[in-house]
Amino acid sequence: MAKTKTAYFCRSCGAESPKWMGQCPSCREWNTLIEEKVVKSKNERLNDKPDWRDVGDGAASRASGDGIGPMGKGPKPVALSEVVAGEVDRLIAPDRELNRVLGGGIVPGSIVLFGGQPGIGKSTLLLQLALRLGKKVLYCSGEESEEQIKMRADRLGGDMTNCYLITETNTHKLLKHAAAIKPDLFIVDSIQTLASPHVDSMAGTVSQVRECSHELQRFSKESGIPVFLIGHITKEGSIAGPKLLEHIVDAVLQFEGDRNYTYRILRTLKNRFGSTDELGIYQMEATGLREVSNPSELLLSERDEDLSGSAVCATLEGMRPMLIEVQALVSTAVYGSPQRTSTGYDPKRLNMLLAVLEKRAGLPLGNQDVFLNIAGGLKVDDPAIDLAIIASLLSSAMDVTISPEVAFAGEVGLSGEIRAVTRIEQRIQEADRLGFRSIYVSKYNVKGLDPDRHSIKIVTISTVRELYDDLFA
């Protein structure tokens, strides 16, 4: 019988230590070591083989004869010039936004991690994918019962004949069923609920998450079955468990959004098979998550052209251009100290822009309350939104309406200059496609730009003062 021992694991990197220390010796983070009981030694865990390999003839045939499996001769060094690179045969999902984020589809043998706030829609998105994929899918749930998942599936709709459901948390039993069914896609909800019999600790601990993710990775690479993992996140917004989990998987997708709004953003944090600048946009409805192919029209559909303090920015979310509405309210401070409040935008950046307006445009804002909001519940960190914020603040302070057919794209510096922004061509094309008549950009952005290619008027400015004179003088 194996002797029980106690070890300390780092919540940040997963490193193991025989005793508690204030600072992790591996990642140098403070107060991250937690105590866990371990039954087997490291060597015993490495020598044990998961018994899912004994099920079915596919794994056995791969393990013998071609030298790839654990029973073969193993891979040999080969010159990089002799490696033949070919196109990856991806599994195309019916969800175009998910295909965009993954780089064109699901790669066989890949392991993808989904993270997000509780109740944001992670389970709904993957169950919706399982029901509409048209392939054999194994859906494992360690959090909900079969009846709960069936109720959600009835609401979402789709083909339930090819979706197999199992409520199991033991990884060895789970992998046995996966090897027997041989699905085209394997979904685990969630990785923090699984437990390996090789580790004597509670599910969700650092050692359990590390061991379970290693077993799932081994299964995915050797069987060629793509695995989707749902991961809980901490109150700081990072995925729970060791940082090692994010290093193991091939892609990390973050599902973002405010539960008070219907919009959801699927953002790529890591992708070995595509770009990390892509994102997908969804709208939560009673029947599930609906793809939003044109977010600009939805975000601008509730604008009123008779109100001041509103401006439209041509921004980029990842590689996708979109137009969003910036709303500002400037009013006389009722209390002694004026308020500075922003929703969806960095408050420190807002204070900087207010200082630029007061210094470079001569607008007295020291005794004014300022409220800023990005419509639709979006959170934007694109520097190109600066010019639209300046315009909305000027519009609200002077109570002058900006034409709803005008867009802005530019970064504002401390000296009041309008700086160039990246991919200005895409921003102009998006504003032109939606029928805007003019767009304000930095004069340093027009080098190499052909204005005759667009029907929209391109207005170039170099300072905040020029914007003030052109719009409100």
Choose among 345, 318, 316: nearest CA to 431. 316
Helix (H) or strand (E) holding 36: strand 33-38
Tell whether 158 is in a known binding site: no
* Pairing assessment for the beta strands 185-189 and 227-231 based on DSSP bridges: parallel
Tell whether 145 is in a known binding site: no
- Spatial separation of the C-alpha atoms in residues 298 and 437, rounded to whole Å: 19
Tell whether 14 is in a known binding site: no
150: how many CB neighbours lie within 10 A of its CB? 13
Radius of gyration from C-alpha coordinates of the chain: 27
Helix (H) or strand (E) holding 329: strand 320-332
Choose among 321, 289, 264: nearest CA to 439. 321
Tokens of 340: 């500075």
- Spatial separation of the C-alpha atoms in residues 357 and 465, rounded to whole Å: 9
Helix (H) or strand (E) holding 312: strand 310-317
Tell whether 192 is in a known binding site: no
472: how many CB neighbours lie within 10 A of its CB? 14
DSSP SS3 for 57: helix
Q: How many helices (H) and strands (E) does the chain have?
A: 13, 21
Tell whether 118 is in a known binding site: yes
Strand ranges inside 222-300, DSSP E: 227-231, 251-256, 263-271, 279-285, 288-291
- Spatial separation of the C-alpha atoms in residues 195 and 209, rounded to whole Å: 8
Tell whether 150 is in a known binding site: no
Tell whether 119 is in a known binding site: yes
Q: Could you tell me if 411 and 385 are in contact, meaning their C-beta atoms sit under 8 angstroms apart?
A: no
Tell whether 122 is in a known binding site: yes
Identify residue 127 by its one-letter amino acid code. L
Q: Could you tell me if 317 and 266 are in contact, meaning their C-beta atoms sit under 8 angstroms apart?
A: no
Q: Which residues are annotated as a binding site?
A: 116-123
Q: Which residues are annotated as a binding site for ATP?
A: 116-123
